[in-house]
Amino acid sequence: MASLIAEIVYRGIFQKNLAARVARGIVLSARKSGRWGIAFGRYGDSPQRNGIPAKDFAIVADTKEELEQNMARYEPKHTDVTIVLDDTLAKGVESWAWYGLQPINKLTVPNGTVLMTSLQSFDSLIEDVHKREEPYTLALIRAKASFSGLWVYREDHTEVRVLGALAKIAPQFLPLDGVCQAIQEIDWGSDLKVASAKKAHDRLESRVVKITEGNAEAPFAFEKPKWWEMREGVTIPAIPIGKPKEGGEGYVPDRNPYFKKYTTRTMRPVIDFDTCVKCNLCWISCPDSCFDVMPDGTFDANMEACCGCGVCEAVCPVEQCVTMVNESLFEDNASQWEMWRKDQAAYKTWLVTKIGDKQGTLRSHGFRFRGQYEQELAAGDLDSGGGVITAGIPGENAAHKTQ
């Protein structure tokens, strides 16, 4: 008598179909060894948005009664396996319907497993994941995050790699044979996918994370209003108008204090204040109003407000003035402009390192043109998620990113 509870943490819309396949695959694999299962999404994540962290759950149990017991909950409070489909989620998630930031391992049971797709080293990932009171295992599938969209799916075998890895982590619930059989029969399955699942099973890397390891920062948190505190007619105080940056110059808007949106980000803009021509385009085109106006007329992307869409890079008329760089290369949300003002030479060195990181500037945010995913998969090793095609990236940086 036992049950296995898995949560699948993923990037909204970009990985919606992928997460659904993983959840469904878990249940169908469990049936192959006579177990019962259910897969469901988290109600609070709907309606989903591009990039905002979201969750699906899959529960597998030996008996129907045990399954029902688990289904009686709104959503699982603890999970045996936390599956993370994008390694920038390691920094924690602030979902659509939540107040504050949750560490990625928050629901993982003591000695449970956090399973992640990543090309980063264990050490650099553990720096991002919040510390916790109990040890857990970090297991890595060596592949990059698979992003596509609602309609066109990127067939890079990520879903079966996760299932193969789960067969290694929890063979008592998901024996490899059952997983392979389920993949064979499912409408999106194939022999090649069975082979990918087996490879992922054999190649899974894992290591125990001790209680002394991890990011020591206390995640930002808020008190949620209690039902009896809710006001009649639901009125919400408006946001104040904002103020000049300093000495009456520039402008910093006030922002929603309870929802910061930055865990939606997988890449962030890195700005070269020396080459900025102060054209205002990034500032006016940002859907999230994340650019603060500096006294010198340049614009500082506020890292608590930026959700990483990349429109600023696309509209910037200066080559490499705004460059989107992978979130995994940064430790905090500090102001770039302040860093630049303090020491311009040091900032330049920092900037060149960040935007010069070839891997860190690769873009994988879904559909840019028809045939792109096929080209990507043909351009690189399928086991690690294929290569990268840079065609179709708009703006002045586009040429630079062509491999």
Partner 1 sequence: MAETTTTFTNATQVLEPFRGIKKVTIEEYFTSGHRTCQGCESALVMKLMVKAAGPRTIVLGSTGCMYVANTTYYTTPWVVPWMHTQLGSSGSAALGTAAGLKALMAKGKIKAEPINVIAFCGDGGGADMGIGAISATLTHKEYNSLILLYDNESYANTDIQISGMSPYGAHTTFSPPGKVHRIIHKRWKKNMAGMMAAGHPECRYVATVCASFAVDMMNRVRRALTIGGPTFIHSLDPCPKGWDYDPMLSHELGELAIETGVFPLYEVEDGQLKYYGKTRAIVDGRKRKPVREYLLKQGRFAHFIEEDLAYFQAKVDEMWEKWEIPAVVPFRRLDATKSVLDVK
Residues 202-241 that bind partner 1 (CB under 8 A): 224-225, 230, 234, 236, 238-241
Phi and psi dihedrals of 71, rounded to 5?
-75, -20
Size of the site for partner 1 (CB under 8 A): 73
Least Å distance between CB 61 and partner 1?
A: 30
Scanning 63-71, 92-100, 172-180, 379-387 for contacts with partner 1 by CB under 8 A, the matching segment is 92-100
DSSP per-residue string spanning 292-312: EEPTTS-EEE-TTT-----HH
The answer to whether 327 and 308 are in contact (CB under 8 A) is: yes
Least Å distance between CB 156 and partner 1?
A: 16
Closest CA to 271 of 248, 296, 247, 253: 296
For 47, the 3-state DSSP assignment is coil
The answer to whether 308 and 265 are in contact (CB under 8 A) is: yes
Least Å distance between CB 397 and partner 1?
A: 10
47 makes contact with partner 1 (CB under 8 A): yes
Chosen residue from 78, 207, 218, 258 binding partner 1 by CB under 8 A: 258
Nearer to partner 1, 73 or 99 (CB): 99
Site for partner 1, residues 304 to 363, rule: CB under 8 A: 304-305, 307-311, 313-315, 324, 363
Burial track 57-79 (b if 16+ CB lie within 10 A, e otherwise): bbbbbbeeebbeebeeeeebeeb
The answer to whether 180 and 197 are in contact (CB under 8 A) is: yes
Chosen residue from 23, 286, 321, 377 binding partner 1 by CB under 8 A: 286
DSSP type of residue 327: G
279 makes contact with partner 1 (CB under 8 A): yes
50 makes contact with partner 1 (CB under 8 A): yes
Nearer to partner 1, 62 or 94 (CB): 94
Least Å distance between CB 256 and partner 1?
A: 2
Nearer to partner 1, 161 or 255 (CB): 255
- The rounded Cα 276 to chain-centroid distance in angstroms is 30
- Residue 104 half-sphere exposure toward CB, CA atoms < 13 A: 33
Site for partner 1, residues 122 to 181, rule: CB under 8 A: 148-152
- Report in angstroms the alpha-carbon separations of 259 from 76, 81, 223, 229, 241: 24, 27, 12, 19, 17
289 makes contact with partner 1 (CB under 8 A): yes
251 makes contact with partner 1 (CB under 8 A): yes
Chosen residue from 288, 319, 357, 376 binding partner 1 by CB under 8 A: 288
- The rounded Cα 261 to chain-centroid distance in angstroms is 12
Least Å distance between CB 225 and partner 1?
A: 6
375 makes contact with partner 1 (CB under 8 A): no
392 makes contact with partner 1 (CB under 8 A): yes
